[in-house]
Amino acid sequence: MTKQYALSAETRDRAGKGVARALRREHKIPAVIYGDNKEAETIALPVKEVTLEYHKGHMYTNLCDLTVNGKKQLVLVRDVQLDPVKDAVLHVDFMRVTPKTTIVVHVPVHFKNEDKCPGVKAGGSVTIARHDLELVCRATDIPEEVVVDLSTANIGDPIKISDVTLPAGTKSGYQRDVTIASIAARLMAGEPLSNF
């Protein structure tokens, strides 16, 4: 079951840049809810609560119990717009979800057993190509992580998505067998990188 957090919001009647600026002056963040064959809803969220949840780093993979004017909806964040200078949240897009909703999400990758990895023991190092993986799953079953076991990887070995046991109920969102990491040989001082 996907983890959840809660937010409260209020509806807003108008949209546009002027309205958005006015909301931000009131310490509110403009947002929109769409999906589930219903009309899009424009809402305003409290800056503090949204900023706290955003900085926890889970908004794209955890469901939100969003209460709008006393009515609860189950939603998932699909986009967060940030101020390019201040890194502050400017706007949030939520998608309504149900247990039947299938979505594409990016799930973080965690590596284990680096200390037991034969390639690392032989002087190699882990080169990470992807810090998260695109997976297809039900909105209510988003995994927290994909675990990659390095205990059998040797120098020169690529670790591809087909080598990893994906969490139950998920499948790869890629059209090909992507490389997640590899075990690279360490260069000695003075050794040329390669012949390009």
The answer to whether residues 103 and 97 touch, using CB atoms and an 8 Å cutoff, is yes
Assess whether pLDDT exceeds 80 at residue 98. Answer: yes
Residue 15 is encoded by which pair of tokens?
Answer: 């949209």
Taking the model in full, what pTM does it have?
Answer: 0.79
Give the model confidence (pLDDT) of 143-187 as tens digits.
999 999 999 999 999 999 999 999 999 999 999 999 999 999 876
Buried b (16+ CB within 10 A) or exposed e, 121-159: eeebebeeebeebebebbbbebbeebebbbeebebebeb
> DSSP states of 28-63 as a string?
EEEEEEEETTEEEEEEEEEHHHHHHHHHHT-TTTSE
Q: How confident is the model at residue 196 (pLDDT cuts 50, 70, 90)?
A: very low
Assess whether pLDDT exceeds 60 at residue 191. Answer: no
Give the model confidence (pLDDT) of 155-164 as tens digits.
999 999 999 9
Give the model confidence (pLDDT) of 34-55 as tens digits.
998 889 999 999 999 999 999 9
Assess whether pLDDT exceeds 70 at residue 194. Answer: no
DSSP tag of 134: E
Residue 65 is encoded by which pair of tokens?
Answer: 């119990």
The DSSP bridge pattern shows strands 38-46 and 171-172 to be unpaired
